A and B are shown apart, each in its own frame.
Chain A
């Protein structure tokens, strides 16, 4: 691999890793707060991408503006989904049953997308779609930069919410010791609902970022959920920084391996990392103490 190609792949990997990081953060949030495995996370991601595409088709306005609608909408849907569906599962079998429940939700979303917009592949064409900028011999598509910026901003916002707000502290407390959280007066059911909403909001942002740069179709979510699940296990279930670090590293690795191995084989790096993690460090690599409890 030449130096230029390496640099190019590295940059692409970081940009892709940013998007993975945001989506994995949402996914690990559900697990941390509620022990829920949210298979439908990537289905909501594609739904948001479709909404961005449809918004652009209809209005001709930049799809980024669709975020004004999709982020609050997904937040409310997430809150409702937790309060009216997930919370009905029995605590003892919650984790297992949540796989089944959210699998069904994923299939439903996929079916609805196909029903409403058919299985045809869709792609947003923007004024700046083909534009790229050149930095030190590396050419970067503007849409990829915008998508990365969006992901980075959202991750930063998520970090601030969790670290600096009273709700964030309540959410972290609920993640780390649910019973103690209830005993200091935190309404853990409400926190779980809001946490779910927050997780789904990351899917809204991610979906819009995705729509800028990818061809979308209803079953695309299956390509995302596997790597995302692998990322949150490698990072340590429930750990947001862990998820972000693992996402960046694996995103870069997949991107670098694409040159010698091709797209399909490069994807296996996620599963390879998953196997290695489960074999030598099942609690994850960056999860810290909390993850060891699972």
Chain B
């Protein structure tokens, strides 16, 4: 167990690890031309495409109401797309249920608080392995997440609802990693946190990546999030308008423009 943990935590293990299928690193998650919306209202996503490569943190930024959460809901099966494709590690999983997508390797930490407040941290974390039958696997994963998030181990028997917002996020992260996901979907993990807790959260996003889990991160706080990401995508009006290495995006004047009012002209 210990040695497995070591290797999973070793940063250099990540790049090659999940890319076995081919040299061209087949993405772990690919959304292609996704259209989605709620009820009879207008579409929220209008032909959105995004990919997450093994061992990377992809950050999707965009203004309030742009449809960031909707992207993650489509990816995790909470919302069925009207058109387009969701592919996880080469398998087409479009329109499957959340359970099936979890089994396919996607774990989703939704926006806002999502711990089970009246349960202990232990119960919360172990419920992350609800679909795992193998007890020794559950134990191995428990060791793994408590190592990655020491706080979770320290507050093991506390009621989750009694923790601070930042601490609850860590419990949610730990819970989401219990199934050994290929990609975790994080919806605005820094929302409502003070600067210190925000820094901790982004540090932990990097640690998840270094431990071998790819991350699709959604943030409103673009600058802060892009600093922790490898790839950035700018979402507006239901589509990804700009994609590129996160550092380039940080320097891109169009990003500043998008956030300082004035949307970019639709090019299509």
Which A residues fall within an 8 A CB radius of B? 166, 169-170, 172-173, 176-177, 179-187, 288-290
Contacts and interface: CB of A to CB of B under 8 A. Distances in A.
Contact of A183 (B110, B117, B119, B161): B110
A186 B78 contact: no
Interface string B116-141: 11110001000110110000000000
11 contacts: A170-B130, A172-B119, A173-B127, A176-B116, A179-B110, A180-B115, A183-B78, A183-B110, A184-B102, A185-B102, A289-B117
B176 to A, nearest CB: 8
B116 A172 contact: yes
A186 B127 CA distance: 9
Given A180-B114, A183-B110, A185-B99, A173 B128 contact: no
B110 A185 contact: no
A176 B109 CA distance: 15
Contact of B118 (A166, A170, A179, A290): A290
Contacts of B102: 183-185
Contacts of A288: 118
Contacts of B172: 180
Interface residues of B, number: 25
Contacts of A173: 116, 119, 127, 130
Interface of B: 76, 78, 98-99, 102-103, 107-110, 114-119, 123, 127-128, 130-131, 161, 172, 175, 179
Nearest to A188: B98
A166 B135 CA distance: 13
Q: Which of B114, B128, B172 has the largest count of A CB atoms less than 10 A from its CB?
A: B114
A177 B130 contact: no
Contacts of A177: 114-117
| CB-CB nearest 7 A-B residue pairs | A185-B131, A180-B114, A176-B116, A185-B102, A185-B99, A182-B98, A289-B161
Contact of B123 (A169, A180, A183): A169
**Secondary structure of the A contact surface, majority rule:** helix
Contacts of B107: 183
Contacts of B128: 184
Given A169-B123, A173-B127, A289-B161, A185 B118 contact: no
A45 B118 CA distance: 30
Nearest to A163: B123
A233 to B, nearest CB: 18
Given A184-B102, A185-B179, 14 more contacts: A172-B116, A173-B116, A176-B119, A177-B115, A180-B110, A180-B114, A180-B115, A180-B116, A182-B78, A183-B78, A183-B108, A184-B175, A185-B102, A185-B130
Given A179-B78, A183-B78, A169 B127 contact: yes
Given A184-B175, A185-B102, A185-B131, A179 B114 contact: yes
Q: Which of A166, A176, A289 has the largest count of B CB atoms less than 10 A from its CB?
A: A176
A166 B132 CA distance: 12
Given A183-B110, A184-B175, A290 B127 contact: no
B116 A187 contact: no
Contact of A184 (B78, B117, B118, B131): B131
Nearest to B162: A289
Contacts of A179: 78, 110, 114
Contacts of A184: 102, 127-128, 130-131, 175, 179
A265 B118 CA distance: 37
B177 to A, nearest CB: 11
A177 B131 CA distance: 17
Nearest to A92: B39
Nearest to A293: B117
Contacts of A185: 98-99, 102-103, 130-131, 179
Contacts of A183: 76, 78, 98, 102, 107-110, 114
A186 B118 CA distance: 17
B74 to A, nearest CB: 13
B79 to A, nearest CB: 11
